[in-house]
Amino acid sequence: MASIRIPNVLRHHTEGARSVTVSASTVGEALEALFKQHPSLRDSLIPKSGDIFEAVNLFLNDTDIGSADRLDTQVSEGDSITILPAMAGG
C-alpha cells in the first residue's frame, strides 16, 4: 500500500482527509484508485484531455517526478505520493 498526501486546498474532495491509502504499482494506478474513492478530485487534477494538469506537481517520497512519463513511475509498498498544485496570486 502507498499513501497519497492531499494538500489542504484539495481536502474538501476527501472529506478533510490529509492522506488516502491505495494499492497500486504505478503513480497512475495510485491516482486512479484515489479517484475511485473520491471521484470529484479527478476534475481538479485532470482536464478533459486526459493527462494531469501541468500545474500539478507530483512527488514520490519527496522526489519530484515531473517528467512526461511520471504516471508510469513505479510505486513500492510504503511509498508516499504528494500532490502539490502550483499556486499563483498577487
On whether residue 21 sits in a domain, the answer given is: yes
On whether residue 9 sits in a domain, the answer given is: yes
- The Cα–Cα gap between 31 and 4 comes to 8
For residue 88, pLDDT over 70 is answered with no
On whether residue 26 sits in a domain, the answer given is: yes
pLDDT at 49: 73
* Domain total of the chain: 1
On whether residue 12 sits in a domain, the answer given is: yes
- The Cα–Cα gap between 17 and 8 comes to 9
Q: Which domain holds residue 71?
A: 2-85
On whether residue 39 sits in a domain, the answer given is: yes
- Residue 29's Cβ-count burial label (10 Å; 0-12, 13-18, 19+) is middle
On whether residue 90 sits in a domain, the answer given is: no
Question: Residue 39 belongs to a domain with what CATH number?
Answer: 3.10.20.30
For residue 84, pLDDT over 80 is answered with yes
- The Cα–Cα gap between 34 and 55 comes to 19
Tell me the whole-structure pTM to 2 decimals. 0.89
Residues of the chain with pLDDT > 90, as a percent, come to: 69
